[in-house]
Amino acid sequence: MVRPVLALLLITSLLLGACSDGDSPQESTAVPFAGYTSDLYSGTRHWLCHPALGAAENICAANLDSTRVYADGTTEIEPFTAAAEPRVDCFYVYPTYSTDPGANSDLNEGAGEIYATLSQAARYSQFCRLFVPVYRQTTIGALFSAEAPDFSRAYIDVLDSFKQYIANDNQGRGFVLIGHSQGSSHLRRLIAEEIETDDYLLQHLISAHLLGTSITKPEGVETGSEFRLVPVCRTADQIGCVVSYATFRDSDPHLAAGQAFFGAAVNGERAICTHPAALSGGRANLSGYFPLSPDPVLGALIIKRADGPFADAASAPVITTPFYSLPGLVSGECVVDSNGVSYLEATVHADVNDPRADDINGEFMFGIGYGLHLVDMTLALGDLVSLGAVEANAWLQNQ
């Protein structure tokens, strides 16, 4: 049986792939960065994902098949197929993963950058072409040093790669911005400084999925001091808007103690929270995709509450796909606690009598107030991709 979320993805993918690139709309405003050529990003050397990369070099072309593990212990393989001729693009900036010495990483992708791209962004190829630059990110060491981290070097690369994309590859297509943690921070700056100041970019922004960060606005309005023109997404077919949240489980002790690192109000403006499967509010199940292989960089720092999808891995069926999902195990709702922290509250609906694992991983062993930061995107990736596909189709219909 084809389940509702998968059906939506398949239908939308067909809609997006029905026309060729030659059907792109006529432009009403001048394309920015005309004639721009980046010294770093003009070829494919410093891209993890790019349409010009061959399948063997394109990280986003890897196998993304997944196995659904149901509450009764039965399994079902969900094959993944990327859109054949997507008419829109996605531009992704990955989170902090570099263990390179110094304040910034080099331009050689590591296992962490590849893992993040596979587990967070590659599935968006269901409906879009993916552009993923390798950038000199602020390193893990710099984030936890005594001095405040400087993100300017990293942002220069993100801006450089985005300008190269717009000037040479965009060709009038709508684009979705995707980021997590440090990646979201750079894209927040990009929106505020570049996109909101340019009519072409603003008109071609389908949406921004910026997770694991705090974007604030005053209560009762849809924009704030950070984004003046890009509002919060409230319906699935809304375009030119932002989706953002930070995830904490319902029993997180640091929330009650007022120690949340993300989601706190700033200067009277509340952090936005948008559940991608329930934009208008309320509780809904989270459709997550979990990598079967452990995190190669941060795995040793994660509190281990589960060992894969089953409570007893030794007697469980063998998972043969690189990803798995747990339908109905986790639900989420955007809430505001007594300390004014706005976040996506994740609830695990464990059943000790079924064969599935009774919990999920996602918290750091060290560090206070991060909540389920490591799985912000993992827990709702199916919902985010479904939403992005609907937003993309709405943007195309609007042209």
**Measured between alpha carbons, how far is residue 377 from residues 47, 115, 218, 276, 291 in Å?**
21, 13, 25, 11, 12
How many separate helices (H) and strands (E) can be counted in the chain?
A: 8, 16
Yes or no: say if 131 and 390 are a contact pair by the CB < 8 Å rule: no
pLDDT tens per residue, range 170-189: 999 999 999 999 999 999 99
Which of 344, 227, 228, 220 minimizes the C-alpha distance to 270?
Answer: 220
Yes or no: say if 79 and 7 are a contact pair by the CB < 8 Å rule: no
Mean pLDDT score, 354-369:
92
**Measured between alpha carbons, how far is residue 363 from residues 111, 214, 366 in Å?**
20, 18, 9
Q: How far apart are CA 50 and CA 45, in angstroms?
A: 10
User: For all residues of the chain together, what is the average pLDDT?
Assistant: 91
pLDDT tens per residue, range 75-112: 999 999 999 999 999 999 999 999 999 999 999 999 99
pLDDT tens per residue, range 227-279: 999 999 999 999 999 999 999 999 999 998 989 999 988 888 999 999 999 99
What are 353's two structure tokens? 């009598």
pLDDT tens per residue, range 299-354: 999 999 999 999 998 889 999 999 999 999 999 999 999 999 999 999 999 999 99
Q: How far apart are CA 330 and CA 115, in angstroms?
A: 23
**Measured between alpha carbons, how far is residue 243 from residues 22, 147, 183, 209, 383 in Å?**
30, 31, 14, 5, 11
Q: Hey, how many other C-beta atoms are within 10 angstroms of the C-beta on 70?
A: 16
- Residue 51: pLDDT over 60: yes
pLDDT tens per residue, range 104-156: 999 999 999 999 999 999 999 999 999 999 999 999 999 888 787 889 999 99
